[in-house]
Amino acid sequence: MGPTATGKSDLAVFLAKKLGGEIVSADSRQVYKGLDIGTGKVPRDPTRSTLHAGRFMYRGIPHHLLDIVNPKRVFTVSQYKKLGEKALQDIWWRGKLPIICGGTGFYIQALVDGIILPEVPPNKKLRKQLEKKLVTELFATLKKLDPRRAKEIDRKNPRRLIRAIEIAKYLGRVPLLKVQAPKNTDILQIGIDMPDEVLKECIKKRLLARIKKGMIQEAVHLHHQGLLWKRMEELGLEYRYLARYLQKKITKEQMINKLARAIWQYAKRQRTWFKRDKRIKWFKPQQKKDIEKLVRRFL
């Protein structure tokens, strides 16, 4: 785990090759079909067919929980947890080592700590009302309903804010999440990070590489396939700014600069989330051999 653009996917494949592992993706946008270049999703091996839904080969290593849902639909952490636990059981059953890899902290915590999520049905009428509001208004609403939840939520994510308000209105407040850690399972958590200036440069380089690779054309194709601008805004980061650029609300240069800043802010929020967990062992991306030694000792 760790901030975006730190090389988590490469490290996961390195460890999987060395230790007979399979990778379970923990990325809240790579679950969506068609969101490939913008999210930095690993490509399928060209000579290998898909093994089954949500599992395909990359560099000879099976990857799970990629391309499992239509981007027009909302995918919840509760759904992820159910599918993630199923993937882990499948990997264990075949005698392989499961390696969870990604930057969505809530997804990782759902699997590692077995978070028990509140069962609150969607309120379509309420959602329609809330979707018309600005993120600042949504945050202010949540703060009134549940100050504790407002302190820890991503205040710039409208989808998360709406869901938190929905739960708070249904239950009176967003409850403290209960945990039920997986039984008979030892877990090693490895964090990857780098100095600020290096990470900023990596973010900018990766963004320019994705644009060159066809990220804009991907967004055009998704829209032609029926993905609304509004939904692209909800998907956040790359797709939010691509939607604004394609609607001529901002220039290409503005899109690149604003997006680079937004990704950097997202990386800082990821750090804040992960740094709360003292179980994580932190390394730099170039310390692959040290990480391998730690994992071998752990196993």
pLDDT in tens, 110-121: 999 987 777 788
Domain layout of the chain by residue ranges: 8-116+179-298, 124-176
Confidence band for 244, pLDDT divided at 50, 70 and 90: very high
What is the model's pTM?
0.88
Determine how many CB atoms are found less than 10 A away from the CB of residue 51.
12
Q: What percent of the chain has pLDDT over 90?
A: 74
Mean pLDDT of 211-229: 98
Distances (CA, A) of 197 to 193, 201, 204: 12, 6, 11
Kind plus residue range of the DSSP H or E element containing 129: helix 124-130
Question: Does residue 80 surpass a pLDDT of 90?
Answer: yes
- In this prediction, residue 232 carries a pLDDT of 95
Average pLDDT, the chain: 91
Q: Which amino acid is at 82?
A: K
Query: Which whole number is the average pLDDT over 123-145?
Result: 91
The CATH homologous superfamily of the domain defined by 8-116+179-298:
P-loop containing nucleotide triphosphate hydrolases (3.40.50.300)
**Predicted confidence (pLDDT) at residue 2 exceeds the cutoff of 60:** yes
pLDDT score, position 252: 97
In angstroms, what CA-CA distances link 156 with 62, 159, 190? 34, 9, 27
Taking CA atoms, 120 is separated from 85, 170, 211, in Å, by: 21, 7, 39
Average of per-residue pLDDT across 144-170: 85
